[in-house]
Amino acid sequence: MILYGLTEEEVVHHLLFILGFNAFGGFSVFLPGLLGRLISDQTLQEQLRVEARKNGNVDLSFDSVKQMPLVQSFVYETLRFKPPVPTQFARARKDFRLSSYDASYDIKKGEVLCGYQPLVMRDPKVFDDPDSFKPDRFVGDKGAELLKYLYWSNGPQVGSTPNEMNKQCPGRDYVTLTASLIVAYLVRRYDSITGDGLTIRTVQKAMTK
Q: Which residues are annotated as a binding site?
A: 169
- For residues 4-33, one letter each, b for 16 or more C-beta atoms within 10 angstroms of the residue's C-beta and e for the rest, the string is eeeeeeeeeeeeeeeeeeebeebbeebbeb
Instruction: Say whether 25 sits in a helix, a strand or coil.
Output: helix
Instruction: Say whether 6 sits in a helix, a strand or coil.
Output: strand
Residues comprising the binding site for heme?
169
Under a CB-based contact definition with an 8 Å cutoff, are residues 133 and 81 in contact? yes
CA distance 176 to 144: 14
Longest dimension (CA), the chain: 65
Question: What DSSP string describes 51-107?
Answer: HHHHSS-SS--HHHHTT-HHHHHHHHHHHHHS-SS-EEEEE-SS-EEEE-SS-EEEE
Under a CB-based contact definition with an 8 Å cutoff, are residues 180 and 68 in contact? yes
